[in-house]
Amino acid sequence: MAISSLPDQKTPGRPVEITFAAETGIPSANKELTCIGHAASGTPASGLYVARTISNSGDFNSAVTELASKFGSGSELSKMVLAAIKANQVTGRYVQIKAIALASTDTDYGPANAALVALDRIKAEYVASCYDGQSVTLRNSLKDQIAAMSAPARVEGNQFGSFGVIANRSVTDPSLLNKFDTQYLIGVWLPDTGTGANLPAYSLAELAAATAAVMAGNPAPFNPLDAVTINGLASPALEVDWITVGFGRQSEVCLNQGWTPLSVKPNGEVSFVRTVTGRISADGSGTPVVTSYYDVQDFDVLYLWRKTIYTRFSQPDFKQRKASTETGKEVKSEAIRLATLFQDLGMFQAVTQLAKLFLVERAVSDRSRFNLKTPVNVIPGLHVIATNVEATTQFDELSL
């Protein structure tokens, strides 16, 4: 390849060009949150069913004014966004927030799922819904949209994998939580059955938004969020609603249903027990039950890997190239190099062993196409340390 792309000239001169080298590192791991909720009555139709960026996603006080002007003071959607901002105030890991307003009278996602149609066009790794996660029809509508946004070809639209976040607080027996068996939904469970003076201090929509914001703000290498507090989320007033945590208890039942349980710490803070997707089986049939790749953070890593591969091979040095054997070797080499970077950052393991299985082949049906296979082993989060305490009488003997 020529050093310079400047044309030949006979006239004396010193032309100097500026070129840009390919970006060869890992792209930004920052994630965005979109909240879908009801606007106040009287909100102009032009403000409904469109994705609107919240300019003050990191400034609670300024956001109050902005949200009041866009969706009405005290509206459900405004409260969702404020709950999301507040949830990350302690850590400062604010995320960019977008909001899609439903009409105040909507009981679904609008005419012809207009809110989901608007969602379909934007980058949104986390989507918080205002509706109860036990509502099968509404849940499935969101799931189908998230699955579509996570499809292979959607990378061209800056969509590399998303989660829909739904919540429930009315179910008191976790075995009654619906198993939706999909990686595309995260169900958050915190029972809160208080009435009268003990009414919940937050809405179901705020619960979904706040938890989604904390998950979206979790930076690479995406460590587990076990016992991480959701700032600003009030604990249920009735202690009978505080779930029991441990093997064989409510948290375990909830996790086996594919839901993310929230618990109340002794100091009254609400925190995650473990953040999981709804994925229970490999194909959605329910059996056999998977034993890996169901934690939210596993998919955070996989979706960042998808973004990294797309970004790297969209760079100038892989554009306008011949589909030659030499190019194929470069593609494979770059994929292995990037996987090694993921390993250095604590997201992949065993890259050296798996590199032997990386494969680039020419497609049979299209000789201008390479198929690239990259087997990766995502480092799982450490959730359990099982200890055996052996009570012994060794060394009891006394001999002077």
Are 201 and 107 in the same domain? yes
Question: Tell me, what's the pLDDT at 4?
Answer: 85
Cα dihedral 222, 226, 231, 232 sign: positive
> What's the rounded Cα separation, in Å, for the pair 133 and 170?
10
Domain residues for the domain of 199 are 32-297
- In single-letter form, the type of residue at position 65 comes to T
Residue 13 covered by a domain: no
Are 175 and 258 in the same domain? yes
Are 114 and 260 in the same domain? yes
Domain count for the chain: 2
Q: Is the peptide bond before 12 cis (omega within 30 degrees of 0)?
A: no
Q: Are 98 and 122 in contact, with CB atoms under 8 Å apart? A: yes
What pLDDT tens digit does each residue of the chain (400 aa) get?
Answer: 578 889 899 998 989 998 888 889 999 999 999 999 999 999 999 999 999 999 999 999 999 999 999 999 899 999 999 999 999 999 999 999 999 999 999 999 999 999 999 999 999 999 999 999 999 999 999 999 999 999 999 999 999 999 999 999 999 999 999 999 999 999 999 999 999 999 999 999 999 999 999 999 999 999 999 999 999 999 999 999 999 999 999 999 999 999 999 999 999 999 999 999 999 999 999 999 999 999 999 999 999 999 999 999 999 899 889 999 999 999 999 999 999 999 999 999 999 999 999 999 999 999 999 999 999 999 999 999 999 999 999 888 887 7
* 104 DSSP assignment: T
Are 387 and 259 in the same domain? no
As a residue count, the chain comes to 400
> What's the rounded Cα separation, in Å, for the pair 328 and 360?
6
Residue 193 covered by a domain: yes
Are 290 and 327 in the same domain? no
Whole-structure pTM over 0.85, yes or no? yes
For tokens 């000789």, what's the residue?
Answer: 367
Residue 214 covered by a domain: yes
Residue 1 covered by a domain: no
Are 111 and 37 in the same domain? yes
Are 118 and 218 in the same domain? yes
Residue 265 covered by a domain: yes
Are 293 and 333 in the same domain? no
Are 271 and 332 in the same domain? no
Are 284 and 342 in the same domain? no
Cα dihedral 235, 236, 240, 242 sign: negative
Question: Tell me, what's the pLDDT at 18?
Answer: 87
Question: Tell me, what's the pLDDT at 20?
Answer: 84
| Strand, helix or coil for residue 10 | coil
Are 252 and 352 in the same domain? no
Residue 53 covered by a domain: yes
